[in-house]
Amino acid sequence: MRIILLSGGSGKRLWPLSNDVRSKLFLKLLPGEDGRLESMIQRVCRQLAAAGLAAQAAIVTHRSQAEITRSHVGLGIPIIEESRKRGTYAAVAQACSYLASELKADRDEIVCVLPVDLFVESDFFDLLQRLPQALEQAGADIALVGTAPSHPSSQYGYIVPERKKRAARGKKEAAGAGDGKELPWFPVERFAEKPDPPTAASLIRRGALWNCGVFAFRLGYMLERMSGDDRLAADGERRENFRGLRESSFDEEVVERCARRAALLYEGPWHDLGSWETFVSHMDGTVIGPGHVAEGSHNTHLINELSSPIHVIGLCDVIVAASPDGILVASKSEASRIKSMLGEQARLPMYEEKRWGICRTIDYAETEDGAVLTRRVELQPGSHTSYHLHERKEEVWTVLSGTGRFMLEDQIYTVGPGDVMRFPPGARHGVKAVTELLCMQVEIGDVLDEKDIERLLMSW
């Protein structure tokens, strides 16, 4: 079985720690098994590895998040880069094309798609390994996973079982749990995507489950759907031909149009960490970073990525979050309003993680000669940037501490504290750290155009 992990996010709901590049998936705030903090994507990949599924996994993400994804998951899992964000349908289509054209996967192989922001326990991944059996037993084209709702929420989609099977579902579940042959699957009548609370309550009374966002199908089934979609190329490198697709979901384009659908029930804990209120409930402790929450500030959390301490006194049920992108002080129940306040306008990320280290934006200014961007850049020992060029901007790096090397037009030079590296527009260049390398980087020109980069070598 192949695993496709869908990764992305706009980085608004957990602002200011999240931004357009570092979405909630990459916030290292959750307690890991080794005692260190880990991100959501690291947690899911660790659980996949423990279940023996990581070797069959690939991650689909927008190219702007490829670097940070690599820094969190390492080199063991392939990353499929999307050139544009067009929703889960385009992401799954591109992943299936990758499996068929690049990995030569068999059309009968089962593909399991799941989001990387799942917060579940290890038994969930045991259930995933039974999806191929559920597809066969149900004679279905698509299998899903649902969990029993705890309350009528408008934040989730609902899986509605067929009427004639609802009464029998409990008996089948009991039988499936005991004999190891029959699974507790049930046929699906329809979906209801994020209904209002009264409608959600009605669906729950009819036996509906929350949709966990997991889809399993045979690769050939999806390839056939793609071949019948005139918005996709019929041949050639199909994964490069998604310009005709509008943004849409896999549910809308495929699952809702599928006649033969089945679902499995997951009875363990399942959480959507999509708000500060739910996210902090899974953290250890109430303070991360410099600062203090005074006694009496009940159910208040402080997360501070700045160097200056923050002290919280006399505030209850509050989230205080600070990063180079901004500062949020909000009641936990109202903190999600930040998403609408930020709007749709693109923002310059002030903090970015790369596969080689991190960079913090210190200053941005518009001048008569163009824009000037100043960053503090840290490269981990032995890591390096790609060997690349920019057509419309110049870079000047000053080494503050550490030793390293840089390549400029195929010539390699050694640098140390006080040395300056200058890369004019169009110059091929790359920087490598021998020890931990701390630099001040100044970009001059069209500094906000993320597309102005041509990577020549990822390793050199």
pLDDT in tens, the chain (460 residues): 999 999 987 778 899 999 888 999 999 999 998 889 999 999 999 999 999 999 999 999 998 899 999 999 998 999 999 888 888 999 999 999 999 999 999 999 999 999 998 899 999 999 999 999 999 999 999 999 999 998 998 888 899 998 755 434 443 443 344 444 566 789 999 888 888 999 999 999 999 999 999 999 999 999 998 887 766 654 434 445 566 667 788 988 898 889 999 999 999 999 888 899 999 999 999 999 999 999 999 999 999 999 999 999 999 999 999 999 999 999 999 999 998 898 876 678 899 999 999 999 999 999 887 899 999 999 999 999 999 999 999 999 999 999 999 999 999 999 999 999 999 999 999 999 999 999 999 999 988 877 889 999 999 9
423 near 393, Cβ under 8 Å? no
Class of domain 356-457: mainly beta
Provide the whole-model pTM: 0.84
Q: Report how far residue 112's alpha carbon sits from residue 117's, in angstroms, rounded to the nearest whole number.
A: 15
Per-residue confidence (pLDDT) for residue 100, from 0 to 100: 93
Per-residue confidence (pLDDT) for residue 181, from 0 to 100: 52
CATH code for the part of the protein at 2-272:
3.90.550.10
Per-residue confidence (pLDDT) for residue 80, from 0 to 100: 94
Among 219, 218, 216, residue whose Cα is nearest residue 264? 216
Per-residue confidence (pLDDT) for residue 238, from 0 to 100: 46
Question: Can you give the chain as a three-state secondary structure string?
Answer: CEEEEECCCCCCCCCCCCCCCCCHHHCCCEECCCCCEECHHHHHHHHHHHCCCHHHEEEEEEHHHHHHHHHHHCCCCCEEEECCCCHHHHHHHHHHHHHHHCCCCCCCCEEEEEECCEEECHHHHHHHCCHHHHHHHHCCCEEEEEECCCCCCCCCEEEEECHHHHHHHHHHHHHHHHHCCCCCEEEEEEEEECCCHHHHHHHHHCCCEEEEEEEEEEHHHHHHHHHCCCCCCCCCCHHHCCCCCCCCCHHHHCHHHCCCEEEEEECCCEEECCCHHHHHHHCCCCEECCEEECCCCCCCEEEECCCCCEEECCCCCEEEEEECCEEEEEECCCHHHHHHHHCCCCCCCCEEECCCEEEEEEEEEEECCEEEEEEEEEECCCCECCEEECCCEEEEEEEEECCEEEEECCEEEEECCCCEEEECCCCCEEEEECCCEEEEEEEEECCCCCCCCEEEECCC
The number of residues making up the chain comes to 460
Where are the domains positioned within the chain? Answer: 2-272, 285-341, 356-457
